[in-house]
A and B are shown apart, each in its own frame.
Chain A
Amino acid sequence: AQSVSQHNHHVILSEAASLELGCNYSYGGTVNLFWYVQYPGQHLQLLLKYFSGDPLVKGIKGFEAEFIKSKFSFNLRKPSVQWSDTAEYFCAVLSNFGNEKLTFGTGTRLTIIP
């Protein structure tokens, strides 16, 4: 069965620092990859996604992620974080396109200190 690992459980950064959140998955075939964000008290929102093509994908609010197939990784990056980026971030992988069953990582809580 596929699985997703997010090794950073809680990350604390100062404003303007650069961010990289790790995500690794275990599945050897074709995958679609996603990052979702959950701001405090809000519902889960799609940040960005990779289906195919350019492995560097750009999402909302200045976030980007790079798909490295050889490393089974899809790390999330942002060059300069803001206090409003404080949220929980979830990586997810879709391998069975028929039923669209999405497998999530355990999440990374990001706290930005003003």
Chain B
Amino acid sequence: DVKVTQSSRYLVKRTGEKVFLECVQDMDHENMFWYRQDPGLGLRLIYFSYDVKMKEKGDIPEGYSVSREKKERFSLILESASTNQTSMYLCASSFMRQKIFGSGTQLSVL
């Protein structure tokens, strides 16, 4: 069964901390994505990557960065977490226009 795995289901961090959200896919997909999901706002794209070490900004990249050193792993980095980054973060990988989503990481920044 194909999978996108996000390392943490729930995460609580303090303002100013550096936060790493990890995502691993086992499907050898080239395209990977990070979204955040907020009530009433749907899913908004933060960053995506179409190959190892390649990345592009999505619609709301401010305050975030990403890393893709290996094809199967795509990391989202919050350099200095802020309370407005409290959200559900969803990772996805994609092949032939079909996306598989991870189960999400609920991040709370206090």
A-to-B contact residues, CB < 8 Å: 6, 9, 32, 36, 42-46, 49, 51, 90, 92, 94, 97, 99-107
> Given the complex, which residues of A lie within 8 Å of B104, measured CB to CB?
43
Main secondary structure of the interface of B (DSSP, over half): strand
Chain B residues whose C-beta falls within 8 Å of the C-beta of A92 in the assembled complex: 43
Asked whether, in the complex, the Cβ of A106 is within 8 Å of the Cβ of B31, the reply is no
Contact of B58 among A44, A97, A101, A105 (CB under 8 A): A101
Q: Which of A44, A94, A107 contacts B90 (CB 8 A)?
A: A44
> A101 to B97, Cβ gap below 8 A?
no
Question: B residues within 8 Å of A by Cβ?
Answer: 31, 33, 35, 40-45, 48, 50, 56, 58, 90, 92, 94, 97-99, 101-104
Of the candidates B43, B45, B50, B58, the one whose C-beta lies within 8 Å of that of A90 is B43
- The distance in angstroms between the C-alpha atoms of A94 and B48, with both chains bound, is 14
Smallest CB gap from A97: residue in B = B97
Q: List 19 A-B contacts (CB under 8 A).
A: A36-B101, A42-B103, A43-B90, A43-B101, A43-B102, A43-B103, A44-B43, A44-B90, A44-B92, A46-B98, A49-B98, A100-B31, A100-B94, A102-B33, A102-B45, A102-B94, A104-B35, A104-B42, A107-B42
**Cα A66 to Cα B40 with chains together (Å):** 24
In the bound complex, CA of A92 to CA of B44 (Å): 11
